[in-house]
Structure 1
Amino acid sequence: MKKYLYFVIATLVLTSCSKEEKPIVVTAENYHQTVDKITDIMVHDIFSPPVASRIYAYSNLAAYQIMRQENKDLIDFTSKFEELKPIPEADTTANINFKLAALVAKMEIGKKLIFSENVLTTYRDSLYTKWKKTNEVEFNSSKDYGLAVARHLSAWIDKDNYKETRTMPKYSVYSDDPARWQPTPPSYMDGIEPHWPKIRPFTLDSASQFKPAPHPEFSLKKGTAFYDELIEVYEIKNEMERKGDESEEMKIAQFWDCNPYVSTQRGHLMFATKKITPGGHWMGICKIASKKAGLDFAQSSYAYTTTAIALADGFISCWDEKYRSNLVRPETLINKLIDDNWKPVLQTPPFPEYSSGHSVVSGAASIVLTRIFGDDFHFEDDTEVKYGLPVRTFTSFSHAANEAAISRLYGGIHYRSAVENGIIQGRNLGNHVVENLNIKPLTY
């Protein structure tokens, strides 16, 4: 009997020890899932495209900075960003799982910046329970380090002027100038984020560093460049209607809509149709490329972080021009001058026309992704499947960016100059991000 008891006790002790020593496995797929979870919450919370880009940049940067503690070959961004100090050093005597700590910091920063904290907390706690059950000692030391890094970065994040812009005055729309932007149907919302150029950028010297070429001088006189571009928007939609809903132009416009502010009116009720932002779409493309290339956790973090920084600086650059030029949207002029019943294919988003935000950030993101994955990276883009749209195939990131840009003309929400000059603006900015951060291709 005693021998049996000794055997049972010894078995329990060995089982307990082996359970404690079992390492916690955190994979690249866990990283992708966390990015997706934050995206889903932002769609639910209806974040504007600029604000969403800020969340992507900071949450991914938190994870990336921790991964540098494990992989010193990764580029150190600390000296690149204004007032950013090195994160706390990891205790080499502690049993720290850097991948786990990276996700802890990423989720903690994400939770700080979103509205629906409870959703991310529930997701986080499900991971915590699994990790803790696998190895409590490793989990606790890794979590503590991740939280310490998140606290360190939070202090820096709080100094980027975002909180100050929340109390600044709304954009004034009262003007007799016909060239000036006016709210558009159906919601007639105020201009979104008029003070976004005041947000601290990541790599830019100033918000106006990549100021685009000017749009054609405003004129409603037939034969002028501006009037011709206005008529082009009107005629393109007429041609698309003749071709029908299955036209390639219609498919492109709908695929790249990415407007989180779409409102639908039924009788006296108006409700929002929630969609992904342009930045969210490009983060989705980053995920597709990372998975196709088989990137590991650290490499995926690198790709997401550099892409997110390009997107964030792209929105700062674009919004600087939008509220400087304050250009009226095609819908406003077409309704006033040509056809008061005309509606664009896509719903006009609530901010000035020039330059095209999707064109700018698509150009910027495509440059960074091309640098990481190569010029001729073929991929199938299924980012919009969950929003009811089919998969589209692209031969390169540049191909996708060009299509995203022209979709704004097909959608009837931008003039040609906003599209063509916008993607140049974005690519110039993207090249700057690549050079400033010394982004290198990944071997995979």
Structure 2
Amino acid sequence: MKLKYYSILLGILFTCFSCSKEQEPITITTDDYHAAVDKLTEVMVHDIFSPPVASRIYVYPNIAAYETLNQNSSTYQSLANQLNGLETLDTENTAEASNLQLASVIAYMNVAKELVFSKERITAYRDSLYNHWKTQNEDEFNSAKNYGLQISEQIIAWMNADNYAETRTMPDYNIYTEDPSQWEPTPPAYMKGIEPHWNKLRPFVLDSAAQFKPATHPKFSLEEGSTFHNELMDVYNLTNDIREKGDDSEEIQIARFWDCNPFVSVNKGHFMFAEKKITPGAHWIGICKIACKDTQADFEKTVYAYTKTSVAIADAFISCWDEKYRSNLIRPETLINKHIDLEWAPILQTPPFPEYTSGHSVVSGASSEVLTDIFGDNFAFNDTTELPYGLPMRSFRSFRLAAQEAAVSRLYGSIHYKAAVEIGLDQGISLGTLVNDKISFLK
């Protein structure tokens, strides 16, 4: 009888302990959010998305997380009726969700899986987290999930109306032209022009894709002494000078660090394959992560920083690509091989789209302005973003100085003229300033 009594007592105690354990609150940290962003980056690199498309993939999950977190915040305010086309959201389940941080991560992943090719990779990651959270506190998880999905499904509906799907069926860029100034596909893959209709997407903050239409590039001319010919020769001569210094030169290190070209083709015998790299937008998302970690930003500020940065990056690509296919300017590599030196090759592989303006310059200018607004000027940091891709850390005294280096890296890499770099950086700074001035994240 005594043994039976103790067995029953132990059973009751075990049941109570299990119930108590199951009801522990679910703790979500900034590391959980960083991990979700990193997982999305990993999948994007695997799927080889173009830089403009990658910017779209980053921005919508961040907005979904931000909106889930901040419908009733005393510090941050909703972006509804601030971003183009985003109307007031239905928040029916707000009161039921006691863990908004958990709900925001769920919302992030729900949108992210709709944007990539390898949905199963996001889904498997999500399901492993779902199973972990359920064992901690199923009631809290379910209420957070219901709310996170409610908000994120509304973001998905808004996302699906941005004209992206329509651009998938629009015609390719027509490369057949007799105009010597017009862009042509470049070695080694001679790929067609990427995303010629990107300016038709609905922007987030811009009034239109052409709001920051840059000044016209120097008039095309192969006449010696003309501004354009001088810029062309500058690329040719600078490249030769850099090569004489060797692979350890500062210019080559800078060019490679900021390459971020997901379309680099590698030839191995009879085979050609893509070398996996992050995009320019992904590099600045990585810098945002570094700034959040260096300042020990709380969960809410972390989501805010990612969201504001990704909005600037997304509109930067819309603005830049609008000009790229308006001017359709030929790349230095094509002209140098045709008219100066048949054997010459750029230090970096030329990406597959027109030259003007420089995408890195526009995106870096925009990103540096919003990050400066969030974290302050003269924010020194060590940029470790490229370590996973075999490139060493570089250190910067501010976001703006990092942007300047990213811009000039395109000149060092022999893939842009000087005007595209300098005017592109100004274009990006103007766009980043607009995001800072026009959109109110803080109450």
Q: Which residue of 2 aligns with 1:26?
A: 28
- 1:73-92 aligned at under 5 Å gives the runs 73-89=75-91, 91=93
Instruction: State the alpha-carbon separation in 1 of the partners of residues 442 and 174 from structure 2.
Output: 44
| 2:78 and 2:441 in contact (8 A); partners too | no
Amino acid at match of 2:175: V
| 2:68 and 2:147 in contact (8 A); partners too | no
| 2:162 and 2:202 in contact (8 A); partners too | yes
* CA offset digits 1:210-234 (Å, max 9, x no partner): 0111110000000000000000000
Q: How far is 1:439 from its partner? A: 5.2
Amino acid at match of 1:298: E
| 1:215 and 1:417 in contact (8 A); partners too | yes
Correspondent of 1:365 among 359, 364, 367: 367
Correspondent of 1:266 among 265, 268, 283: 268
* CA offset digits 1:94-113 (Å, max 9, x no partner): 35311111111111111000
Q: Which residue of 1 aligns with 2:233?
A: 231
Q: How far is 1:70 from its partner? A: 5.5
Amino acid at match of 2:295: A
Q: Which residue of 1 aligns with 2:416?
A: 414
Q: Which residue of 2 aligns with 1:257?
A: 259
Instruction: State the alpha-carbon separation in 2 of the partners of residues 331 and 437 from structure 1.
Output: 40
Q: Which residue of 1 aligns with 2:426?
A: 424
Q: How far is 1:125 from its partner? A: 1.2
Unaligned runs of 5+ in 1: none
| 2:75 and 2:442 in contact (8 A); partners too | no
Amino acid at match of 1:209: Q
SS at match of 2:400: helix
Q: Which residue of 2 aligns with 1:388?
A: 390
* CA offset digits 1:181-216 (Å, max 9, x no partner): 000000000000000000000000000000111110
Q: How far is 1:5 from its partner? A: 4.4
SS at match of 2:395: strand
The root-mean-square deviation of aligned C-alpha atoms, in Å, is 1.4
| 1:321 and 1:354 in contact (8 A); partners too | yes
Q: Which residue of 1 aligns with 2:213?
A: 211
| 1:165 and 1:195 in contact (8 A); partners too | yes
SS at match of 1:253: helix
- Using the size of structure 2 for normalisation, the TM-score is 0.97
Q: How far is 1:151 from its partner? A: 1.4
Describe the shift of the 1:189–1:93 C-alpha distance in structure 2 as closer, same or farther (beyond 3 A).
closer
Q: Which residue of 2 aligns with 1:377?
A: 379
Describe the shift of the 1:355–1:95 C-alpha distance in structure 2 as closer, same or farther (beyond 3 A).
closer
Instruction: State the alpha-carbon separation in 1 of the partners of residues 213 and 116 from structure 2.
Output: 30
1:349 aligns with 2:357: no
Q: How far is 1:270 from its partner? A: 0.6
Amino acid at match of 2:137: N
Q: Which residue of 2 aligns with 1:243?
A: 245
Instruction: State the alpha-carbon separation in 2 of the partners of residues 90 and 366 from structure 1.
Output: 37
1:280 aligns with 2:278: no
Q: Which residue of 2 aligns with 1:17?
A: 19
| 2:260 and 2:278 in contact (8 A); partners too | yes
| 1:253 and 1:407 in contact (8 A); partners too | yes
- Using the size of structure 1 for normalisation, the TM-score is 0.97
Q: Which residue of 2 aligns with 1:291?
A: 293
| 2:79 and 2:441 in contact (8 A); partners too | no
Instruction: State the alpha-carbon separation in 2 of the partners of residues 31 and 212 from structure 1.
Output: 36
Q: How far is 1:146 from its partner? A: 1.2
Instruction: State the alpha-carbon separation in 2 of the partners of residues 211 and 24 from structure 1.
Output: 48
Amino acid at match of 1:201: P
Instruction: State the alpha-carbon separation in 2 of the partners of residues 215 and 135 from structure 1.
Output: 60
Larger CA deviation: 431-440 vs 269-278: 431-440
* CA offset digits 1:288-320 (Å, max 9, x no partner): 000000011111000000000000000000000
Amino acid at match of 2:341: D
- 1:17-96 aligned at under 5 Å gives the runs 17-69=19-71, 71-89=73-91, 91=93, 93-96=95-98
Correspondent of 1:104 among 103, 106, 111: 106
SS at match of 2:207: coil
Q: Which residue of 1 aligns with 2:188?
A: 186
Q: Percent identity?
A: 57
SS at match of 2:408: helix
| 1:372 and 1:439 in contact (8 A); partners too | no
Instruction: State the alpha-carbon separation in 1 of the partners of residues 314 and 350 from structure 2.
Output: 22
* CA offset digits 1:78-135 (Å, max 9, x no partner): 0112221233325355353111111111111110000011111111111111111111
Q: How far is 1:21 from its partner? A: 2.3
Correspondent of 1:159 among 158, 161, 165: 161
Instruction: State the alpha-carbon separation in 2 of the partners of residues 4 and 37 from structure 1.
Output: 49
Q: How far is 1:142 from its partner? A: 1.0
| 2:305 and 2:374 in contact (8 A); partners too | yes
| 1:371 and 1:440 in contact (8 A); partners too | no
Q: Which residue of 2 aligns with 1:336?
A: 338
Describe the shift of the 1:92–1:283 C-alpha distance in structure 2 as closer, same or farther (beyond 3 A).
closer
Q: Which residue of 2 aligns with 1:123?
A: 125
| 1:264 and 1:272 in contact (8 A); partners too | yes
Q: How far is 1:287 from its partner? A: 0.1
Q: How far is 1:73 from its partner? A: 1.4
- 1:127-138 aligned at under 5 Å gives the runs 127-138=129-140
Q: How far is 1:16 from its partner? A: 3.2
| 2:304 and 2:441 in contact (8 A); partners too | no
SS at match of 1:69: coil
| 1:184 and 1:332 in contact (8 A); partners too | yes
Instruction: State the alpha-carbon separation in 2 of the partners of residues 70 and 258 from structure 1.
Output: 38
* CA offset digits 1:144-168 (Å, max 9, x no partner): 2211222111111110000000000
1:405 aligns with 2:407: yes
Correspondent of 2:198 among 181, 193, 196: 196
Q: Which residue of 2 aligns with 1:139?
A: 141
Instruction: State the alpha-carbon separation in 1 of the partners of residues 56 and 141 from structure 2.
Output: 29
SS at match of 2:81: helix
Instruction: State the alpha-carbon separation in 2 of the partners of residues 197 and 92 from structure 1.
Output: 36
Describe the shift of the 1:273–1:119 C-alpha distance in structure 2 as closer, same or farther (beyond 3 A).
same
| 2:76 and 2:442 in contact (8 A); partners too | no
Instruction: State the alpha-carbon separation in 1 of the partners of residues 179 and 148 from structure 2.
Output: 52
